[in-house]
Amino acid sequence: MSLAIVLRRPRRTLSMLGGAVALAAASIGIWTATPAHAATLPTPDHVIVVMLENHAYSQVIGSSSAPYINSLKTGGANLTASYGITHPSQPNYMAIFSGGTRGITDDSCYTPGFSSAANLGSELIAAGRTWRSYNEGLPSQGSTVCTNSSTQYARKHNPWFAFSNVPTSTAYTFAQFPTDYTTLPKISFVVPNLCDDMHDCSVNTGDTWVKNKLGAYATWAKTHNSLLIVTFDEDNSQSGNHIPTVIYGQHVTAGSSSSTTYNHYNMLRTLEDLAGLTTHAGSAASASDITGIWS
């Protein structure tokens, strides 16, 4: 049947034949090239990733302490087999931003700009797309301080400062988060402080923060070609690093879920491809996109 289709539609011959060859090769285990994924993804105008802390999937998904995150799950997509890369926190942030842990194995305060490796921020900038982070408790835009006890800020959750190819000025305070969502960048990360990210405070505290601070954006995203992604750096070290990840917005099938195993490298690959990038940082180059949830 596929040959007949090729003959009737000659302009599609090469693409269809290539797909058939790839499928056949994969079925017998001889195809090892990086898969192509971007054609199956939407092209959102804005994507926000909010990073929360240190809770296992079972502590959040289905929990009465997280009614808002679970409402996003119901109205969006739930990744039931989403995983962190390692422990503790900081190397996971490096992984989701740059496709590798960059030699970081703990939460110590590193020297700013120590790496020139490719990362999501540098790739977006090089491609002429916009990137920013919004960091609760950051003392001022671009500040590289390690901590600020008065605002419960910690740089260990802000991997962009590790890279010399990402201007520090792209790190905004959360007070600078826009109310006009059309001015948001193509991709942005939102990082709450050590209480509001559930690190030092309760699941309910973090859930309420997401609702109060990003709920209006989530509602807007649903009808404005945009996405909100809520994920975690790592679990509580008791669940095999199984973390919650929920995706909400336009082009996400409401109530959908995926049981495919994904990790931070898959998330990075997906963010790169959602932005239409042709480069992929570190282990994202060989990772698959998140699929099966898009409408």
What does the pLDDT profile of the chain (295 residues) look like in tens digits? 333 333 333 333 333 333 333 333 333 333 333 444 444 899 999 999 999 999 999 999 999 999 999 999 999 999 999 999 999 999 999 999 999 999 999 999 999 999 999 999 999 999 999 999 999 999 999 999 999 999 999 999 999 999 999 999 999 999 999 999 999 999 999 999 999 999 999 999 999 999 999 999 999 999 999 999 999 999 999 999 999 999 999 999 999 999 999 999 999 999 999 999 999 999 999 999 999 999 9
Are 40 and 289 spatial neighbours (Cβ–Cβ below 8 Å)? yes
Residue 40: per-residue pLDDT: 86
- Nearest Cα neighbor of 155 from 236, 209, 90, 88 is 90
Local structure of 227: helix, strand or coil: strand
Q: Provide the token pair at 114.
A: 């120590």
The Cα 269–Cα 284 span in angstroms is: 5
The Cα 171–Cα 290 span in angstroms is: 27
The Cα 209–Cα 191 span in angstroms is: 11
Q: Provide the token pair at 225.
A: 């070609």
Query: What are the residue ranges of CATH 3.40.720.10 in the chain?
Result: 36-286
Region of 7 please: left (phi>0), alpha (psi -120 to 50) or beta.
alpha
Are 169 and 185 spatial neighbours (Cβ–Cβ below 8 Å)? no
Residue 130: per-residue pLDDT: 98
Residue 198: per-residue pLDDT: 98
Residue 8 neighbours by CB under 8 Å, 6+ apart? none
Region of 137 please: left (phi>0), alpha (psi -120 to 50) or beta.
left
The Cα 33–Cα 35 span in angstroms is: 6
CATH number of 36-286: 3.40.720.10
